[in-house]
Amino acid sequence: MGMDREPRTAVVIGAGVVGLSTAWFLQERGVDVTVVDRGGVAAGASWGNAGWLSPGLAIPLNEPGVLRYGLSSLLNPNAPLHVPATPDPGLLAFLTKFALNCSWKSWGRAVRANIPLNDECLEAFDVLTSNGVEAPTIDAPIMAAFETERQAVGLLHELRRINESGLKIEYTAFKGDELGALLPQISPQVRAGIRLEGQRYIDPGEFTHSLGRAVAARGAEIRSGFEVADVRTGSGGLTVVSSTGDSVAADAVVLATGAWLNRLGKAWGVRVPVRAGRGYSFTVPTAEPVRGPIYLPAVRVACTPYQGKLRVAGTMEFRGPDHPLVQRRIDAIVKSARPLLSGVDWDAMTDLWVGPRPVTPDGKPLIGATDVPGIFVAGGHGMWGITQGPITGRMLAEQITTGKVPTALRDFDPTR
């Protein structure tokens, strides 16, 4: 459902890249915005991820190979995909829905639905960085590294399928000694590589904080420590109420709380379950400067230049979003990545982090109006919230202020 009139004020619940992008583009359309978050800017999944801006790789998680891989790894505690052996009926129901969507037909539908977001996502970043967001986006290819040429075949097939689906990504294959000259961090064990051209990366934490500063500089109030307990409706509009009784009134409310989205969204008709697919990362020094992102597909690890060092990120762990960091998951990343990388000081690890990526069972995010007039949702982007965050904010701000659903958002109806 939409709104009867164009909103003059809005409250955005969630100060990650999706929520802050929505706030920025609402401001661009003349809306006064307040942002509230129980933790603060970049307190969730927006801080410690790999920071890749790679629209050609921003594909749904429900690819059939992921299901096969997941089933084969369930009994391996060190596998990149981890489902704890604890009774959780909600998680079981989610994984069942996810498995039913792991077909080429369902995956293809999700890929086609995501194409408009991916086509315009880098342009949305350029709009932000040209208008007050000081953190840069950095152009660099992503090098995927493999121990054997045979291992590389799987990614080559996937890249061809991606291009056939309507997304476009250019790539070049390398082998043997060529790889060491391209990236000093590649170990001699790596004998094949695929360079993905035309990619970018960011420092995700710094970008999100810079976006927050830009939103504040344009007049928004950002309130940390504001845990939302309820959103009340009335003839005068909407009132967002915190667990301590504080409140903020507005004409429109945007729920952008990532993996916590269902806690409030269920009451507003959001039927699609969102679960936390938690990712881990840490930072390590390297003997030589890192020239660009490194992808280790066989062990599901993504590495990115980060503040003069290397950020190493990986795993998909289905636990509650507030569960503390599990050291064994960090150890599993190190064990899998160590043989493939050289010149890395694993003993000088810092910035250990876990963040809950919001995953949907059908590979499509939730963007749009709820059953309650004036309340909107933006979330469920899985591993690609950074890549798709700004374009999500731009398109949703258009819907909120015009009352018209952009064609690109029709497949992402939160009440589907």
Torsion, CA 14, CA 414, CA 252, CA 396, rounded to 10: 80
Q: State percent of the chain over pLDDT 70.
A: 96
Torsion, CA 351, CA 226, CA 249, CA 247, rounded to 10: -170
Give the mean pLDDT of 227-248. 95
Q: Across the chain, how many H-helices and E-strands are there?
A: 10, 21
- Band (pLDDT 50/70/90 cuts) for residue 183 is confident
Dihedral sign, Cα of residue 393, residue 401, residue 363, residue 57: negative
Whole-angstrom distance, CA of residue 343 vs CA of residue 51 = 22
More confident residue, 1 or 279: 279
Whether the CB-CB separation of 164 and 156 falls below 8 Å is answered with: no
- Band (pLDDT 50/70/90 cuts) for residue 75 is low
Encoded tokens for 325: 């960091």
Angle ∠(368,9,127) on CA atoms, nearest 5: 65
Whole-angstrom distance, CA of residue 333 vs CA of residue 302 = 10
- Band (pLDDT 50/70/90 cuts) for residue 342 is very high
Measuring CA to CA, how many Å separate 277 from each of 82, 271, 318, 356? 9, 18, 5, 6
Whether the CB-CB separation of 412 and 365 falls below 8 Å is answered with: yes
Distance of CA 134 to the CA centre of its chain: 21
Would you kindly state where each structural domain of the chain is located, as residue ranges? 9-412
More confident residue, 81 or 389: 389
For the chain, give the mean pLDDT.
Answer: 93
Phi then psi dihedrals of residue 51, to 5 deg: 75, 20
- Band (pLDDT 50/70/90 cuts) for residue 176 is confident
Q: pLDDT per residue over 358-381, tens digit each? A: 999 999 999 999 999 999 999 999
Q: pLDDT per residue over 94-144, tens digit each? A: 999 999 999 989 998 999 999 999 999 999 999 999 999 999 999 999 999
Sequential DSSP letters for 19-59: HHHHHHHHHHTT-EEEEEESS-TT-STTSSS--EE-GGG--
Whole-angstrom distance, CA of residue 220 vs CA of residue 157 = 46
| CATH number belonging to the domain at 9-412, selected among 3.40.50.20, 1.10.1060.10, 3.50.50.60, 3.40.50.1980 | 3.50.50.60
What is the predicted pLDDT for the residue at 4? Answer: 62
Residue that the structure tokens 């590589």 belong to: 193
